[in-house]
Structure 1
Amino acid sequence: MWGTTAASVRRLCAAGEVRSALAQLARGTKSGDAELDVTACTALVHGCCKSGDVAEARRMFDVMPLLALAPNQVTYTALIHGYFIHGQREKGFALFKEMGRGGVEPNLYTYNCLIGEWCRTGEFEQARNLFDEMPLRGITRNVVCYNTLIAGLCRHGKLSDAAKLLDMMRREGIRPSIITFNLLIDGYAKAGKMSNALHFFNQMKVAGCQPSAVTYNMLIAGFCRARDMTQANRTLSDMKERGLEPTNVTYTILIDSFARENDMDKAFEMLARMEKAGLEVDVRTYGVLVHALCMEGNMKDARKLFQLMGEKGVEPSNVIYDMMIYGYGREGSSYKALKLTMEMRKKGLVPNSASYGLTIRILCNDGKCQEAEDLLDDMVRAGLQTSESICQALLDAKARLRGSTVVSFG
């Protein structure tokens, strides 16, 4: 029966059934068939990390030497990655050092994992040191490795350094992927440098990479951000001419841009086109419109849209509730704001501090001290910090109420 447990564990982990794999290991131990191989143990480590149980992954890792099994490059990398994605970066880096002390050479995936983590926190000197170390260790860098570093540099605004890596890729004979170009296009578009974004868009086509809907969305978002709606519409037309249908993201970008320009007619025209195309209007799209209507004080239409969401089966997010509460607060509708706050709480959502604070203040202004006090207590129960100004507003309202009561009976 040797190997039965190992095969079952590998199969169950591949299917994402980690708990079943651990149960199979327990059964195998009980029946005397607990023989595992490195691949099965690695599968368990990876599976536990993926399911969020990094502690269990580490226990499995530490058990391996007791089973006369030595963790290999893949095992170490799986656990290092697990530490990183679950916010335990120091343990991840410590394990990398442990890997070196154990004489296990890091592979391409180990380096990609480490470079990605350094890039995430913007520590590019460390990332670049590892990147430059790879050829010295005999490890051939691939497009994923380059994309990881380019992504980090673009995310932190180091666009010229990212662009230089594209040239370096080509010198090494590595063909850039659509992801490579998208990263650079998006980076420059977000920085408002649309001529650079278009440069890489054109390079993308010359390199034989076909732009995707994602590519066009990045360009459209960039032009909208630059308030160049003429170019945004031209890009949309080019997208359609290439046989790419606009997505719900495309329309939401345009709706958001028109809303920011206070052109609500155009924004709703885009919404109608979106619905006509049979695309799902999701919570983000509704959120953009609700936000714009609340900001211009049009609570009547904001409420209609809010109710329409319910009819369409789209659950409002915290952000949308908070915006509606803010809108009602601005117009002084204390009970409407309070009703939405209570509705949020019933759904298990927590209003933000600003929503609580504004609602409490307008209740105080309306002399509704008991409701304001109840809401202040609810804010504390929700784990939010109260401010001195909110508490003072309640005290002042109570003082005014006492004063008016004294006068009326005097």
Structure 2
Amino acid sequence: MGGQKDEAAVAAGFIDARARVEFIAICLVGFFFSFTNNYSSLLAIVFERSGHSLPDAGLLLSLFAIPAILAALLSSAACARIGVLPTIRVAIFLTMIGMGSFAFTRESFWLSLLSRLVQGAGVGLFLPAAMVYSQSRINRKRFVYFITVFSAVVPLAAIAPPIGAWTLERYGFASLFAEAALPSALAIALTYALRMAQRPNNTGGLNLGAGLQRRLLLPYATVMIGGLLYGYSTSYLAADLHERTIALAAFFVPSSISLVAMRFAAMRVLAAVALPILVAASLGTYALGFALIALASGPLVMIAGALAYGIGNSIMLPVVAAWVVEGLEPQDRSGPQAVNISFFYFGLYATPWPIAHLIGAVGYVTTEWVIAAIAVAMMAVVLAFVMRPARAGA
């Protein structure tokens, strides 16, 4: 009976029958972790109400990038030395402590910075390790699709900020941060129902190993641009829509719907397409989305732009995550994932500063056209890479 269950699970894309349950569990872990981390969207309000100036609040928010990027680079070494699941637990614990401690540190700049740095270290460690674990539960049959499904749990946790805002207004700071920490406690508990994954090969140092190959420069550059494209929407689009008197829901609701629909439904079919082609398609739909956003003077065009943006966003990170480990055994994947997520975080967290200067110089709409052009240029580079083997064989 057990053998039949294993055969059915392998045919469905898992390594065995228990791995099916473990994959669902690691998705829930990712959801609960993201639920806690998404309370970060309320920190600007928290810092303002706690008496911090706007520049100080901005500094507290942006310095998060330093530990997040460094921890992502260290994640492979952590997985090799203490194991993948223990690294995930440490990451969740740090994020939970960092977020929960704001209940006590929010009024002090330096203590708030400490909380933010701890949170950033947890966030940086989590995604590469969680990617490695989720990939260890699946076989190559539906590899890209299941990576996409795992990545879909992060946007599902976008319900956290409205819940947190309701709690903040009615019950105050202490209840807000206690509520924020609770999902992470559940996530840690869930990890104890999982089997240990095979440790990555320990190559010493940062243990980046296979992640330092020249062939990976293109996917790394692509995912960094993906971080920039995603980061613009999280950092500046709300202010742009407010300035144009377009409801925020005209962008954020349809973009979330198209993202989730793509990852759960359409990618079941598209997963068979060559990975660089999917990445080029992601960049193309991103560019279309930003062009429509720049053109929008009302909700209808904005909704169309949001749908295109959501499609591009749904493809980028999970497909590049599959691209960088293509052909590698599970124990060799932690290095590429660590470097890949570091490049994504760099695009996400480091580029808002120069983008802010560009907005100050030319405005939101022109900046959106520039970003669309960057996406088109990167798409052209990826397509040139795809066409090169065909030309060589001609």
Shared fold (TM-score, shorter chain, > 0.5): no
| Larger relative helix fraction | 2
Q: Quick check: which has more Rg, 1 or 2?
A: 1
Q: Please report the TM-score for the alignment, with normalisation by the length of structure 1.
A: 0.22
